[in-house]
A and B are shown apart, each in its own frame.
Chain A
Amino acid sequence: MRNTKIKSILAIALSIILVFALAGCGNSGEPNGSNDQIDGNGGSKQINLMTWGGDFIPREIISQFEEKTGIKVNYKEVTSNEDMQSLLEANPDQYDLAVVTDYMVDILRQNGSLEKLDKSKLSNFSNINPVYQGNYYDENNEYSIPYAVSISFLLVNPEAVAALGADPITSYKDLWQEELKDKIVLIDWSVEIMGLVLKSLGYEYNETDPVKVAEAKEKLFELRDNIVRFETNTPEDSLINGEAVAGFMYSNQAVKGQAADEKLEPVFPEEGMPIYIDSFVMSHKAPNRDHAYEFLNFIMEPEISARISVITNFASTNSAAEEYLPEDFKNNPMLNLPDEVVENTSFYINVAEVTEEYDHIYTEFKMR
Chain B
Amino acid sequence: MLKTKKIKQNAPVVPVLIWIGFLVGVPLIYVLALSFLSRDHLGNVVLEFTLDNYKRVVDPVYLKVFYSSFLLAALTGLITLLIGYPVAYFTANLESKKRSLAIILIILPFWISSLLRTYGWIILLGNTGLINNMLLKLNIIQQPLNMMYHFGTVLVGTTYMLIPFMIIAVFNSVGKLDRSLLEASYDLGASKWKTFFNITLPLTVPGIAGGFTLVFIPSLGMYFISDLLGGGMTIFLGNVINTQATRGRNKPLAAAFSVGMIVLVLIVLFIYSRVIRDKKEGLFL
What is the interface of chain A, defined by CB distance below 8 A to chain B? 2-3, 6-7, 9-10, 13-14, 16-17, 20-21, 23-25, 79-83, 107, 110-111, 182, 188-191, 227-231, 241-243, 350-353, 355-356, 359-360, 363-364, 366-367
Is the pair B107, A80 in contact by a Cβ cutoff of 8 Å?
no
Stretch from B19-27, B41-49, B189-197 contacting the other chain: B41-49
On whether A363 and B246 interact (CB within 8 A), knowing A17-B110, A17-B164, A20-B111, the answer reads no
A367 and B42 contacting across the interface, CB-CB below 8 Å: no
Q: Do B68 and A367 touch across chains, with their CB atoms under 8 A apart?
A: yes
Kindly specify which of B58-66, B75-83, B259-267 makes contact with the partner chain: B58-66
- Given A111-B42, A352-B39, decide whether A21 and B247 contact each other with a Cβ distance below 8 A: no
In the docked arrangement, what's the CA distance between A359 and B107, Å? 39
A22 to B184, CA, bound (A): 45
Q: Is B138 an interface residue (CB 8 A)?
A: no
Residues of B within 8 A of A25 (CB): 114, 221-222, 224
**Residues of chain B contacted by A189 (CB below 8 angstroms):** 247
In the complex formed, the residue of B with least CB distance to A12 is: B107
Q: Which of B5-13, B201-209, B225-233 contacts A (4 or more CB under 8 A)?
A: B225-233
Interface residues of B (CB under 8 A from A): 39-44, 56, 59, 61-62, 64-65, 68, 96, 99-100, 103-104, 107, 110-115, 126-128, 146, 148-149, 161, 164-165, 168, 171-172, 175, 218, 221-222, 224, 227, 231-235, 240, 243-250, 253
B121 to chain A, nearest CB (A): 14
Cα(A364)–Cα(B161), bound, Å: 28
> What's the nearest-Cβ distance from chain B to residue A72, in Å?
28
In chain A, what residue has the closest Cβ to B149? A229
Would B114 and A241 count as touching, CB distance under 8 A? no
The residue from A24, A230, A367 contacting B113, defined by CB atoms under 8 A apart: A24
Min C-beta distance of B149 to chain A, whole Å:
5
Whole-angstrom CA separation of A351 from B247 in the bound complex: 11
Given contacts A229-B231, A229-B233, contact A24 B224 (CB under 8 A): yes
Q: Which residue of B has the minimal Cβ distance to A83? A: B246
Q: A82-B246, A241-B127, A241-B128 are in contact. Are A367 and B115 (CB under 8 A)?
A: no
Q: A14-B168, A355-B248 are in contact. List 10 more A-B contacts (CB 8 A).
A: A6-B99, A21-B161, A23-B113, A24-B113, A82-B246, A83-B246, A111-B44, A360-B56, A360-B59, A367-B234
Complex-state Cα separation, A355 to B250, whole angstroms: 9
A73 to B133, CA, bound (A): 46
A227 to B112: give the CA distance in the assembly, Å: 32
By a CB distance below 8 angstroms, the chain B residues around A229 are 148-149, 231-233
Complex A-B: 30 CB contacts under 8 Å? A6-B96, A6-B175, A14-B164, A14-B165, A16-B111, A20-B110, A20-B114, A24-B113, A81-B247, A82-B245, A82-B247, A83-B246, A110-B42, A182-B146, A190-B243, A191-B247, A242-B127, A243-B148, A351-B41, A351-B42, A352-B39, A352-B40, A355-B43, A356-B253, A359-B244, A360-B56, A360-B61, A364-B61, A366-B233, A367-B64
A10 to B176, CA, bound (A): 15
Asked whether B235 lies within 8 Å of A9 as measured between CB atoms, the reply is no
Q: What is the bound-complex CA distance between A227 and B148, given in angstroms?
A: 13
Question: Given A80-B246, A352-B42, A352-B43, are A6 and B110 neighbors across the interface (CB < 8 Å)?
Answer: no
- Evaluate contact between B243 and A359: CB separation under 8 angstroms: yes
> Nearest residue in B to A366 (C-beta to C-beta)?
B235
Chain A residue contacts of B40, Cβ below 8 A: 352
> Which residue on B lies nearest to A10, using beta carbons?
B168
Q: How far is the CA of A125 from the CA of B93 in the complex (A)?
A: 73
Contacts of B244 in A (CB 8 A): 359
B228 CB, min distance to chain A CBs, angstroms: 9
Chain A residues with CB under 8 Å of B245's CB are 82
Q: Min CB distance, A276 to chain B, in Å?
A: 13
- Give the docked Cα–Cα distance between A111 and B235 (Å): 32
Once the chains bind, are B146 and A10 in contact (CB under 8 Å)?
no
Query: Could you tell me the distance between the alpha carbons of A229 and B226 in the complex, rounded to whole angstroms?
Result: 11
Name the CB-closest residue of B to A24. B114
For B107, list chain A residues within 8 Å (CB): 13-14, 16-17
CB distance from B81 to the nearest CB of A (A): 18
Q: In the complex, which residues of chain B have a beta carbon less than 8 angstroms from the beta carbon of A228? A: 149, 231
Whether B59 pairs with A10 at a CB distance below 8 angstroms is no
- Given that A20-B114, A25-B224 are contacting pairs, would A352 and B250 also be in contact in the complex, using a CB cutoff of 8 Å? yes
List chain B residues, Cβ under 8 A from A16. Answer: 107, 110-111
- Among A2, A241, A356, the residue within 8 A (CB) of B126 is A241
Q: CB < 8 Å: which of B103, B149, B234 contacts A9?
A: B103
Are the C-beta atoms of B41 and A363 separated by less than 8 Å? no
B246 touches A231 (CB 8 A): no
Alpha-carbon gap, A107 to B247, bound state (A): 13
Give chain A residues whose Cβ lies under 8 Å from the Cβ of B165. 14
On whether the beta carbons of B243 and A231 are closer than 8 Å, the reply is no
Partner of A107 from B42, B146, B168, B246 at Cβ < 8 Å: B42
Residues of B within 8 A of A191 (CB): 247
Q: A229-B231, A364-B61 are in contact. Are A10 and B218 (CB under 8 A)?
A: no
Q: Which of B100, B161, B246 is A6 in contact with, Cβ under 8 Å?
A: B100
In the complex, chain A residues whose CB is within 8 Å of the CB of B103:
6, 9-10, 13
CA distance A229 to B232 in the complex (A): 6
Q: With A and B bound together, what is the CA distance between A209 and B110 in angstroms?
A: 50
Residues of chain B contacted by A355 (CB below 8 angstroms): 43, 247-250
Report the Cα distance A302→B35, complex, angstroms: 49
Q: Are B250 and A10 in contact (CB-based, < 8 A)?
A: no
Q: Which residues of A contact B233 (CB under 8 A)?
A: 227, 229-230, 366
User: Are B232 and A230 touching (Cβ within 8 A)?
Assistant: yes
| Most A CB within 10 A of own CB, among B65, B99, B243 | B243
Q: Which of B113, B221, B231 has the most CB of A within 10 A?
A: B231
**A10–B65 Cα gap in the complex (Å)?**
35
- Complex formed: what's the CA distance from A367 to B39 in Å? 26
Shortest distance from the beta carbon of B173 to any chain A beta carbon, whole Å = 12
